[in-house]
Structure 1
Amino acid sequence: MVASYRSALLAFGLLICAAGVQAQHLKLVTGEDYPPFAGNDLADGGSLARLVSVALQDAGHTSEIAFKPWSRGYEETLSLAFDATFPYQITPDREADFLFSAPLYEVRSRFYVLQDSALHSGERDELRNAVICLPIGYALNGWVAQHSQEANLVRPRNMDQCHEMLIRGRVDALISNAEGVAFQLFMRQEENSLLRPLPHSLANSSLHLIISRQHPQASQILTRFNNSLTALRDSGRLLQIVAEPVAIIPAQTP
C-alpha cells in the first residue's frame, strides 16, 4: 500500500514537472491594423489578441505581443524571431511553412459598396471592371483569389484607407467583413446605412494562430493552446471575450 502510494505520488510529481517544463514565455506578433481583431491602437491589442492571451494563460504560458507590419511579422515568425503570429486564414502557401491552431474566429468576407452604388450582386462578371480595395497583407478569397490577375485591386496600408477611398469615390468596392465594417463606421462616426454588403459572399474564413513548422516545440504549444480554446469555447467564454467591445487607445502626445 505504501509503495503504491509512493508510486502514485511520484507519477503525480512527474506530471507537474512535465507541465512546468512545457510552460514557456512566448513572444507573439500580430499586425498593426486589423480592427477590431488586432491593432497597436486597440485596447488589449484587439479582440483576438485578447483571446490569444487568455488562451495561452489558461494553457500555463506567459506571453507578450508585438505589433509590426504584416509581412515583417510573418517573415520574422517564419525565421523563429517570434514563437507565433495571428490571425491568419489558411492558404496553401502558408500551410507549407506553418502549423495552424484550431479556429479563433470565423469571418464572412464580402464586398461592401456605398448605398447608391450601381453594383448589386458581387459576382465576378459584375465587378470585372470595378476598382476593388483590400489592404496589403490581407488574404484574397473566392473568385478574387482565383482570378487575381484580372481583378483591378488597390492595396493600401490599412482598411481605414480603403474606407476613405470608397467614401471619396476613388474605388468602387472594398472587401471586408461585418465586424470590421461596423468598427470602421463607428470610429468614423458614420451611419451604418452608409455602406451595404453585396449579397454574393466571397468566403467564410476561419482565423488562426500560426507557428513555423521549424519551431522545435510547435506541436506541443499548439496542443496546449487548442485545448485551452476548446475549454473556452465549451464554457461560452470564447464568444464573451471576442464580443467584448474594443476601444481605441488615444494617441500619446509628446
Structure 2
Amino acid sequence: MFRRTTTADRTMMNFCRLMCCLPFLCWSAATVAEEITLTNGEWPPYLSEQAPHYGIASRVVSEAFAQEGITVRYVFRPWRRAYLEAESGKYHGSVVWTFEKDRGEVFHFSDPIFEGRSVFFHLRTSTFDWKRFEDLLDYQIGGTVGYTYEFEKLPGIQVQRADTDSDNFRKLLAGRFDIFPSDIKVGYAVLRSGFPPEDVARITHHPRAYNVVSYHLILPKRHPESSRLLALFNRGLKKLRESPRAASYFDSFTTP
C-alpha cells in the first residue's frame, strides 16, 4: 500500500543523511593543513632552492612546523628582498637570520635553530695562526660583498671584497690574499660544489672559530599571525629536537 511521505519522515531522512556525511566532513577538515609562506635565499648547505628539502635549515623549519600541522611553502629571493618582503608582512616570515638590535625591533625571533661556526680559510702551505684579532694585522684578508665582519672594527684591518664566496676562494688559491673568513660548512660546500678536488685539497681552515652565532626564524611583528606562529614553531622545534628520528637533522649542522 502506498504511503505519503510526511514532514516528519523527511526530517528523519535529512537527519540520517547528515549523520552519514559527518565522518567524511570531519576527515576532510582534518586533512586540510594550514599553509604559510616564508622567504628563503641561497646559502648552501643550509638553504638552497636546488638542494633536497631546500637545505638542512629549511628542512628543520619545515619539520618543526609540521609537528604542529602547518605546511611551509618557500619563495626564494635575493637576501635583501627576502628580508624586506618578510618585514612588510607580504609573507609570514623568513629563514634564517642572526639577531641584531634593529631586526629585533621589527621581527619576532624564534628559539635558535642552529649555531653557525665561522673560521679563517687559508692555503695549506701557509703558516697562518692567530689568537687575537690584533694578530690579523699581519695578514691580507678577503671578504664578500654584503658581509660585515667583527674584526673589521679593529683599526688597521682592511678587507678586500669580492662579489661571491667562490670569487674569494679563487683569489685565495691565486695568492691574492692570505685568509678568507666564512662559515665552515658554507665554505666547504662552496669548495666542493665549484672547484676541482686538487684545488679543494690545497685549502684548509684554522681550527679556532672567530665567531659562533645562532640562527633563527624571523616573523614580522606587524603580521597578525606572527605571535601564534612563533609559539607553534618553538613548540614544534622542541618536539623535533626530542625526536630520535630527527637527530640526524641537527647532527648535520655540526660537521664540516
- Regarding TM over 0.5, the answer is yes
- Output the CA distance in 2 between the equivalents of 1:64 and 1:85: 11
1:215 aligns to 2:234 (yes or no): no
Deviations 1:71-91 (A, max 9, x none): 111111111122111111112
Aligned partner of 1:12 in structure 2 is: none
Measure how far apart 1:205 and its partner are: 0.9
Aligned residues: 222
- Letter paired with 1:75: L
Secondary structure of 1:128's aligned partner: helix
Aligned partner of 1:69 in structure 2 is: 78
For the aligned residue pairs, the C-alpha RMSD in angstroms reads 2.8
1:162 aligns to 2:168 (yes or no): yes
Aligned partner of 1:58 in structure 2 is: 67
Counterpart of 1:181 (choices 165, 181, 187) is 187
1:84 aligns to 2:90 (yes or no): no
Normalised to the residue count of structure 2, the TM-score between the two structures is: 0.75
Secondary structure of 1:126's aligned partner: helix
Aligned CA distance change for structure 1 residues 31 and 131 (closer, same or farther; 3 Å): farther
Counterpart of 1:45 (choices 54, 57, 65) is 54
Normalised to the residue count of structure 1, the TM-score between the two structures is: 0.76
1:95 aligns to 2:101 (yes or no): no
1:190 aligns to 2:197 (yes or no): yes
- Letter paired with 1:108: R
After TM superposition, list the pairs within 5 Å mapping 1:1-254 onto structure 2: 24-32=34-42, 34-121=43-130, 123-128=132-137, 130-138=139-147, 140-141=149-150, 143-144=151-152, 147=153, 150-187=156-193, 188-190=195-197, 193-243=201-251
Bigger drift between 129-138 and 86-95 goes to 129-138
Aligned CA distance change for structure 1 residues 139 and 234 (closer, same or farther; 3 Å): farther
Secondary structure of 2:144's aligned partner: coil
- Letter paired with 1:231: K
Q: 5+ residue gaps in structure 2?
A: 1-25
Percent identity between the two aligned chains: 27
- Output the CA distance in 2 between the equivalents of 1:126 and 1:185: 26
Aligned CA distance change for structure 1 residues 70 and 217 (closer, same or farther; 3 Å): same
- Output the CA distance in 2 between the equivalents of 1:139 and 1:232: 32
- Letter paired with 1:91: E
- Letter paired with 1:220: R
- Output the CA distance in 2 between the equivalents of 1:135 and 1:107: 17
